[in-house]
Amino acid sequence: MNTFINNRNALVCKVIRARLIFAAFLGASLVGCASSGSALQYYLLHSTTSSFANEYETPPHRLLINKIILPDYLKQRGLVYQTSSTSLHIATDHLWAEPLDEGITKSLKASLRSQGVMLVTHNMNAKEANDYLTLQIDDFIATWQGDIILSGQYTVKHIDESQSATDFEYTLPLAVDGFPASIEVMREAIHALAENIASEVTKG
pLDDT confidence bin for 184, thresholds 50/70/90: very high
Give the pLDDT of residue 121. 85
Q: Count, in order, helices (H) and strands (E) of the chain.
A: 3, 8
Contact in structure between 21 and 146 (CB atoms under 8 Å): yes
Give the pLDDT of residue 35. 45
Q: pTM for this structure?
A: 0.80
Q: What is the mean pLDDT of residues 144-163?
A: 94
Residue pLDDT, tens place only, 46-105 = 998 865 555 666 778 999 999 999 999 999 999 999 999 999 999 999 999 999 999 999
> Helix (H, G, I), strand (E, B), or coil: what is residue 126?
helix
Phi-psi map region of 43: left, alpha, beta (phi>0 left; psi -120 to 50 alpha): beta
Alpha helices in 1-74 (DSSP H): 2-34
Q: What is the mean pLDDT of residues 11-25?
A: 49
Return the closest-CA partner of residue 62 out of 121, 124, 120, 105: 120
Pick the range with the lowest mean pLDDT from 26-30, 91-95, 131-135: 26-30
Domains and CATH numbers, the chain: 2-202 (3.40.50.10610)
Q: For all residues of the chain together, what is the average pLDDT?
A: 84
